Structure formats: structure tokens, C-alpha cells
Chains A and B, each alone.
Chain A
């Protein structure tokens, strides 16, 4: 697979950053994840962190070759992220369970698959147009769908921050599945949180992408999005991928990776595991690898 990735997460004008983004890929499969921890709830950033970490962990366990059923994986990984957040809340005796939105996208065999809960978005942009998007699990989207308000009114609606599905909390998330989109060269899949998408319409991104690659365009658009919020910018985050010409040798090919090797990155700020120690002959990576092997063996042996 040959693709270009850009990701960034900015605090905006808030006192902390409750957004988390991440990607991970092996030779044959790519995962993009974004989560917007919910303000007004305790420890939104913890929920977002757990969501990205857990989905990535599951991905690295299960996508060492190919995912058999990408949609099943997405739903199961998001559900397990939800459970992990709830467990965290129970373990730490939190009065209120932290919550987060989540979008996760898998690209495998030139096809993109995605699933989401909440009002973080995914766009598929092709040749200057938006060809696919998630439908926000939000009150205003419901009102738009019912024809009661226009999309323009939604931006100023008092309930614009109300969402009806999220990870964490008492109710398990309502997870919507995207379409399967067969990618063409130059297609961009962009995941963003509302701090970004509320300021920059997808049509603008799509048309500007015809002239610039994501690596130069998106940093500029993040600055622009914050500027447009006039000193009240929410956290803004993006993770995006442009599908490249698969025979273009100037773009790195994931086939160069070793078998079962993963490259991943997130904007995680907390390191949950014990710190590394030179005396340790068992590293965190060893532990993860051992668990992945065992999981693999459990799945392989017919029961």
C-alpha cells in the first residue's frame, strides 16, 4: 500500500486538549482513529485516550495479516473501547463515566471501511468533491434530517453540541457503519473533530486538495479553523490519508515493512504502562507481542 498520512491535534483556545488522533498500519492494513473527549464530562481526555489506544491495540492484535471482516472488527473494537472506558471509570470510582466520540477507519485492499459514534466526522474527498461522509449522531443532525432546520441554522443552534451516541457512559454506543469505498488514486480520507469541521466546510477542503497535498494544506487549514473561531476555538484535530499511485516508487510502500510489523503514532499524552527500565528483560512491546501470539493461537485452534 502506498499512501500519505497527515495528523495533528491542537488545543485551540481551550485549557486542555481532549482530542486524540492516531494511525497504525502494517503491510496490508491501515487504521485511522479520532476521538473527541467530551467537555462537561469528567476526564474527557481519558476517554478519548482509551478509545484510540484500545482500538489501536485491537487492530495490532487482529490485523497482522488482513482483517477478515473489517466492519465486524470496527464494531467490536469500538465496543471494546467503550467497555474499557467504563471499566476505567469503575476502577477509579469516577462519579461520572468519561465519554468520547469516535471515528475509526480501516483501509485494506484499496477499500476504505469506517464506523463512528458521535459527531466527529469522516469525509472521503475525490476530485474536488465530497463523495462520502458520516452522519453526525447529534440532535441538530436529527433536526436537519426531519427538515426542521437548515444546515446553516445548525451551526448556531443552541443544541449543536448535543450528541446521542458516544463511548463511555451508561448506554452502549450506537455505532453507524460507513459504506465500503473503493479508493482511487488521489482520494483523501479525512477524519476530524468538530473544532475543525465546524469551521471549514468540506467543499473548501475538497477543492483546495486539487492543488495541494494534505501535508501542506491541512496544517494551514488548522490555523485557519482556529482563526475563524475568533478566540473561542475548540480543540481541533485531523488525521487524513491520501491514497497514492500504487506503482509510484517515490512514495513509501508498506510492503517494505516486515511481516506483522506495525508503524503507529498517536498524540497520546499519558503513558499508562510502567516506565522502561534497562534491567527489564521483558518490555511492554514483548508483553503486547506475547498476548497477540496467544490471541492468535486461541483463534487458530478450532474449539
Chain B
């Protein structure tokens, strides 16, 4: 029998005034629930619960069996606090909003605004053939507004990928999951072990020399995310590319026509040398806003979907 994972809180469970409806997702360090407060307002509540530790096989309390585990548990808790700190400082429509943070059941909870929609990852799997250049540019131009705000707060996200970009029902991209985020000016935070997702993390991220990380590291991940929107798979992992760069050129993987300008933008974001990438989210946003030439635009079928509302585009996505 496979090992029983940590049990999610049951539906109907009342947590500090929020009633749990169902788990929405679970990851390596947490379970996210849909919950409602007393007035019925929905929230996404993230429960810190590292899946590597057997913490809750029954009931609601988290039990830590031995001291070694306690140490691991608490180290991870520090990261969870970093995430809370990071998000608490930001109020922006393209960044998920944190509404509350509290301790209960011997662990901690972060209450976030609940956004209706799906992750970009979901859309890549289901609707990639419908991703027009117009759509990609619009999503990432808006996402850059959020990322600019993140960087303006001296934060790095450090885990931008399709699973962490949410597309709300009205087509607004929202940057999620600041579990890897670091406050660049806090030495304490930079000592924490890095977390990354292969394919999306910049080469310098693997080495984890804190001095090398910067907004350009997030830009690499944005490039990898756009690459995935077009190719359907992430580029070769950054650390491997440093050894031997076999990243498949994006234009050979595209299933529909995009402008050369867009391919060039993605290529520049994915430069192994951090200095060759757009250095700021604003810089990347500017080039994304430059309209492709009319000829290319027509070839990419831009005009056919120009006025198509995003909700329609994603009608099957729900």
C-alpha cells in the first residue's frame, strides 16, 4: 500500500472563523483550501504542511514525532513566513493578495484572496492551440505590472512558472505562490535553501550565490514561461544549458506563427548570461508592448482573434 500522505482538513471544518470547503491543491510544502468566512466570502487558505514529513495522519493537529523533524518543519516554516511577509507588503491586481495570517493546529495558515479561474499551466495543457500572439503579449504585459511591483518591494519571486500564474475568469493574470520568494535585502532570508523548478529557474539560481540573483533571474523564468506557452514544454534546465546548451529553438516548436520579434524577446529572456537578458520587468514589458509589424501580424492570425474576449477563448476551461 502506498504511504498515506498528510490528511487534508475535512470539509466543514471551522478554522479560526473560516469554514473549509475543499482542498484546491497540494504541493510539497502546503495544502491550499477553498474556505469561506462567516459572511460567505470565499478565500484560498494555504496550510503549511510539508509533504515530506508525516505530520497529520488523523485529526486536525499537526504532530511532529521527533526533534529532527521538528527542525526541518520549523526551517520550512521560516520560508512560509518569508512568503507571508513578501505578499503582505504588496497590494496589486496582478499579485495574489494575502488577507490574514495566523497560527492554529500547531502549524500556520495564510489566507489569500480567492481568484476564480485556472492556472496558466491548465490553459497550456488544454488551450495552447488557441494562444495567439495577442493573447500571450497581453497576459505577460499585465503580469509584468505585478512583477514590477514585486521587484519595487525589493522582492524576488524566484519561482515564476505556468503553475504559478493564475488567469482569472476576466482574463487577468495573477502571480501566485511566493513560497520561494526572498526579500533580497534580508540576509536571513538569503541563507534559506533555494527552491526552484527545473526548466524555469535561471542558471545562476542553481548555484545560489545570492549576489548573482536579481530581477534578471525572474526575467529568465518569465522567458521560460512564455517558451512553455508556445512550445508546450519548458526549455532545457538552466544548469544543464550552462554545461551544454541544447535548448531547442522556440520557432521550431511553435505550432502556429508568431512574430520573429516575440521569439527574439523569449530568446533574450532565456540568455544564459544574465547581463544579456532584459534587466528589469519594465524593460521586458516595453518590448512586449511594441506591436509586431503589420505583415507579421497578419501572418500570425492576429486579426482573427483580436476582439475575441478571453472568456470565450477559454470557454472549455471553465
Contact = CB atoms under 8 A, between A and B. Distances in A.
Contacts of B61: 91
Contacts of B84: 290-291, 294
Contact of A301 (B70, B77, B88): B88
Interface stretch (A65-73, A149-157, A207-215, A278-286): A278-286
Contact of B13 (A83, A90, A282, A302): A90
Given A290-B81, A301-B89, A282 B16 contact: no
A280 B71 contact: yes
B67 interface: yes
Contacts of A287: 77, 81, 103, 108
A134 B128 CA distance: 67
Contact of A83 (B16, B85, B100): B16
A86 interface: yes
A301 B90 CA distance: 7
14 contacts: A80-B16, A80-B17, A83-B16, A91-B59, A91-B60, A274-B70, A280-B71, A282-B75, A291-B102, A294-B85, A294-B98, A298-B101, A301-B89, A303-B97
Contacts of A87: 14-16, 104
A282 B101 contact: no
A121 to B, nearest CB: 28
Interface of A: 80, 83-84, 86-87, 90-91, 273-274, 277, 279-282, 287-288, 290-291, 293-295, 297-298, 301-303
Interface in B15-46: 15-17
Given A86-B14, A280-B70, 16 more contacts: A87-B14, A87-B16, A91-B105, A274-B70, A277-B67, A279-B67, A282-B74, A288-B103, A290-B81, A291-B81, A294-B84, A294-B98, A297-B85, A298-B99, A298-B101, A303-B97
B100 A298 contact: yes
Nearest to B74: A282
Interface in B66-99: 67, 70-71, 74-75, 77-78, 81, 84-85, 88-91, 97-99
Contacts of B103: 287-288, 291
B187 interface: no
Contact of B108 (A91, A291, A293, A301): A291
A295 B108 CA distance: 13
Interface of B: 13-17, 59-61, 64, 67, 70-71, 74-75, 77-78, 81, 84-85, 88-91, 97-106, 108
A274 B74 CA distance: 11
A91 B97 CA distance: 28
Contacts of A86: 14
A302 B88 CA distance: 10
A224 B315 CA distance: 77
The majority secondary structure among interface residues of chain A is: helix
A297 B64 contact: no
Which 7 residue pairs are nearest across A and B when measured between Cβ atoms? A297-B88, A282-B74, A290-B81, A294-B84, A294-B101, A91-B60, A298-B88
A87 B99 CA distance: 20
A297 B98 CA distance: 10
A78 to B, nearest CB: 13
A287 B107 CA distance: 10
Contacts of A298: 88, 98-101
B89 A297 contact: yes
B106 A274 contact: yes
A277 B73 CA distance: 13
A92 B299 CA distance: 64
A282 B61 CA distance: 19
B109 to A, nearest CB: 10
Contacts of B15: 87
A282 B78 contact: yes
A80, A84, A274: most-surrounded residue (chain B CB, <10 A): A274
Nearest to A87: B14
A280 B78 CA distance: 12
Contacts of A80: 16-17
Contacts of A274: 64, 70, 106
B262 to A, nearest CB: 35
B272 to A, nearest CB: 36
Contacts of B91: 301-303
A128 B27 CA distance: 64
B15, B74, B90, B98: most-surrounded residue (chain A CB, <10 A): B74
Contacts of B78: 282, 290
A277, A295, A301, A302: most-surrounded residue (chain B CB, <10 A): A301
Contacts of A277: 67, 70-71
A200 to B, nearest CB: 38
Nearest to B15: A87
A270 to B, nearest CB: 14
A302 B90 CA distance: 9
B16 A84 contact: yes
A294 B83 CA distance: 10
A152 B312 CA distance: 76
A295 B109 CA distance: 12
Given A294-B101, A301-B88, A303-B91, A279 B71 contact: yes
Nearest to B99: A298
A196 B22 CA distance: 48
Nearest to B104: A87
B13 to A, nearest CB: 7
Nearest to B81: A290
A281 B71 contact: yes
Given A274-B64, A280-B71, A83 B81 contact: no
A280 B16 CA distance: 27
